[in-house]
Structure 1
Amino acid sequence: MSDNSGVRVAAVDCGTNSIRLLIGDLVDGRLVELDRRMTIVRLGQGVDATGAFAPEALERVFAATEDFAAVIRSAAVARVRFVATSAARDVSNRDAFLTGIEERLGVRPDIISGKEEAELSFRGATTSLDLPAPYLVADIGGGSTELVLGDATGVIAAESLDIGSVRLTERHVSTDPTSAAELAAITADVDALLDTAKVPLADARSLIAVAGTATTVAAVALNLPEYDRDAVHHARLTAARLRDTTTWLTTSTRAARAAVHSIHPGRVDVIGAGALILQRLVDRLPVDSLTVSEHDILDGVALSLG
């Protein structure tokens, strides 16, 4: 790293379904990306029912963290931040998780609030976007959905809702393909929480959807033969295209979804519920399209190290 390349940072985001790493150089308030990678770990496996992390889920997270730690060491990173979100907030055995990560990475995870999660997502997603304001950033995760409304001056309102792709799949889905009754139950859960949302959804003039659910939905909607991050980043989906894609994802068999190479194997089981959350959100907004961003909370965490 040369003297003018800034400070090298590493951000790790551990959510309900995946753990992700971003390494970059902070230069004049901007992030120059060097490495970005993701592993599906399903940390939230069974949490909605048991209130605790499953031992095998912890093992998967610790193994991925060891891999990330090796990458971070080889990159000569100066600052590291590890954030954990929805799945880690209320579990009974979170100390085992915190200690295990610290032993492997050398930093203690920050279990961030839903409000901070939303603000970090907003910062990461809105960098270098030119859209009508106010804009709503939606981060649909495995255990929760973060909504944040803001403009060029920053955040106006932010909220975390306990609806996510893993949580709703585990709660309601037991058939293949998902039955109409199961889809109705998911929809009812989503609508009930959106009904109570404190973020003024009707004020949004643009929707930016981030994280794995949105990027996967976009890849399917674009008919990509393989996942292509460059094609997905800042892709615009009309409301009609989103509805068609959601219909297919929620009514197809598991085998049919698994055959689509742009869907990560770790998302095959839960992408239908995630797409339905996104669909129900769009149905409430005064917008006719959404923009998908590959920049999200991970970028916000990296920027917070400046």
Structure 2
Amino acid sequence: MSRVAAIDCGTNSIRLLVADLDPQTGALTDLDRRMEIVRLGQGVDRTGRLAPEALERTFAACRRYADVIAEFGVPPERTRFVATSASRDAENRDEFVRGVLDILGVEPEVITGGQEADFSFTGATKELAEGTFAPPYLVVDIGGGSTEFVLGAERVEAARSVDIGCVRLMERHFTVDGVLTETPARAQVEAVRADVDAALDEVARTVPLERARTLVGLAGTVTTLGGIALDLDAYDSSRIHHTRIPLPGVRELTDRLLTATHDERAAIPVMHPGRVDVINAGALVLLTIMERIGAEEVVVSEHDILDGIAFHAASESPS
């Protein structure tokens, strides 16, 4: 067995996976999987910089993760820290890199959108061939700052990353003078849709979206929608994984979240407190994508970029 630790630091959340990888079968066995909302990308779309308070929230989570990694005895050479959209965009990303290195002893890799797509595809599709899901797969990873579109069957055939994450669009269109709108007005909703449609125009130039036979949705927006669709009393990743939500169901959920108040969204049992303000924008992104590409359903995956990072950490670390 090869024991590895993988950390995925995005615009909204930072997640840790400690796992054992069987080199013979390629099976990944979770030992510890956790997530914290740190909102690293707070204000990056407006200022171009990582805010001091956002950095401190992230560093505090890293200290807690360092304790977990040490507890499981994972050495630095088998630990991989990947940072995505927010840290790619920030002018002061060197401050972020130095802080993480000091805490974890591992330098964060500020990866490109293409690398992010590769990790996401690996994590999301490695087990799909064993099921009833038909390739080619279109993997859509809706993050806080960006969304990745990856098409492929056994490997990535085409990919594109665009800046239509749920935090970015919430801050851009669902706030007025920095104050979050309780329930977005029609014009605000249409502004988000316009941004997503423009981004999809870009994606379609390099990713043949019409070839997809299975749409696979990743990350917190999609998995939370899966939990709501199942009407769960508490978040249960084992039940959410590979749930299928038909297009009418996504449309109904999106309408519900767009018209709900902050308190009504917060009262949903599977809702993480850090997603309350961004879940409606994220749902709208997913709905617009599905309508645009003609997807009849989305397959929700709990396995994503984090699993892909772990696979790469195991394959690239010394034996």
TM-score normalized by structure 1?
0.96
Q: CA deviation at 1:193?
A: 0.8
The answer to whether structure 1 residue 212 and structure 2 residue 214 are counterparts is no
The answer to whether structure 1 residue 166 and structure 2 residue 167 are counterparts is yes
Give the 5 Å matches for 1:188-199: 188-197=194-203, 198-199=206-207
Match of 1:38 among 35, 38, 59: 35
Partners of 2:293 and 2:137 in 1: CA distance = 11
Which stretch has the larger CA shift, 172-181 or 274-283?
A: 172-181
- 1:17 is matched with 12
Residue aligned with 1:81, SS: strand
Cα pair 1:17 1:166 within 8 Å, conserved: yes
Partners of 1:273 and 1:210 in 2: CA distance = 15
RMSD of aligned residue pairs (Cα, Å): 0.9
Partners of 1:32 and 1:259 in 2: CA distance = 33
- 1:77 is matched with 74
Match of 2:44 among 36, 47, 64: 47
AA aligned to 1:38 is: M
Partners of 1:87 and 1:80 in 2: CA distance = 21
Residue aligned with 1:108, SS: coil
Deviations 1:57-102 (A, max 9, x none): 0000000000000000010114100000000012111111000000
- 2:178 is matched with none
Partners of 2:294 and 2:265 in 1: CA distance = 30
Match of 2:148 among 146, 154, 177: 146
Partners of 1:163 and 1:65 in 2: CA distance = 26
AA aligned to 1:65 is: C
Match of 1:290 among 280, 295, 298: 298
Partners of 1:196 and 1:138 in 2: CA distance = 15
- 5+ unaligned residues in a row in structure 2: which ranges? 176-180
Match of 2:241 among 233, 241, 259: 233
Partners of 1:280 and 1:82 in 2: CA distance = 31
Deviations 1:220-261 (A, max 9, x none): 122111111111111111111111011111221111101112
- 1:105 is matched with 104
How many residue pairs match? The answer is 300
AA aligned to 1:58 is: L
Q: Which runs of 4+ in 1 moved over 4 A?
A: none
Deviations 1:14-48 (A, max 9, x none): 00000000000111222111110000000000000
Q: Judging by fraction of residues, say which structure has more helix.
A: 2
AA aligned to 1:178 is: P
Deviations 1:116-162 (A, max 9, x none): 1011000000121131111100000000000100002x011011011
- 1:275 is matched with 283
Residue aligned with 2:164, SS: coil
Cα pair 1:204 1:286 within 8 Å, conserved: no
Cα pair 1:201 1:284 within 8 Å, conserved: no
AA aligned to 1:271 is: I
Cα pair 2:142 2:219 within 8 Å, conserved: yes
Q: CA deviation at 1:53?
A: 0.4
Match of 1:251 among 255, 259, 277: 259
